[in-house]
Amino acid sequence: MKENKENIEHDLEYYQSGIRQLYLKTYQKYLLILLAVMLGTAIGIGATESIVRWLLIAVFLIEAGIVVYLFRYLRAETFEAYFQQIKEQLPNEFHKMASIEIQEDDQAYYFSDDQALFVKLKKKNTRNFPSKIRQYTLLVGFTDEINKNGLEQPLQFFTMISLKSNIRRIIKKKY
């Protein structure tokens, strides 16, 4: 048990830069979408008159506030706090989780546990990190779905065991 914990912590430290890239990519995607919406609002401000213009200015200021809020997550200290939380939680829950069924197609991984948990990770948005424990691999990614924890915990972590070439068992729930 202690050896597995040390191996998982080693894996997380070893792949910290890759996890940071996925973390930053998540917020960059949010910012890009928000900036496109802000551009549309700015065009609307120039094309309208009177009361509608003032409403669009208010919406633009709210959007600018959200951009400032998102920049908070791009700071190095915020990532370090997030990474330390994952580093503490992942090894402790490694053997406690029930099996999660994985299904896979050409574009995504689907994780379900008696229909109580359903996560769709697009293959484009995931990284597969081989573990120091030979039979395991760490799958890290983010979903396109926005939920209440999506801003503070954007990445999904799954530890997978390769049983056969196409059959896998998942041991870790999402964070």
Could you tell me if residue 35 is inside a domain? yes
Could you tell me the pTM of the whole model? Answer: 0.76
Domain membership flag for residue 63: yes
Domain contains 105: yes
First to last CA, the chain: 21
Q: What are the structure tokens assigned to 33, written together? A: 């979408």
> Pick the residue with more confidence: 5 or 78?
78
Report, as an integer, the average pLDDT of 142-168: 64
Q: How far is CA 85 from CA 18, 104, 109, 173, in A?
A: 17, 29, 25, 15
Would you place residue 130 in the very low, low, confident or very high pLDDT band (cuts 50, 70, 90)?
confident
CA dist 141 and 97 (Å) reads: 19
Q: Is 62 helix (H, G, I), strand (E, B) or coil?
A: helix
**What local confidence, expressed as pLDDT, does residue 89 receive?**
82
Domain, as residue range, for 50: 2-170
Q: Would 121 be classed as within a structural domain? A: yes
Q: How many domains does the chain have?
A: 1
Helices (H) and strands (E) in the chain, counts: 4, 7
Mean of pLDDT over the chain: 79
Has residue 175 been placed in a domain? no
Measured in whole angstroms, the distance separating CA 7 from the mean position of its chain's CA atoms is 22
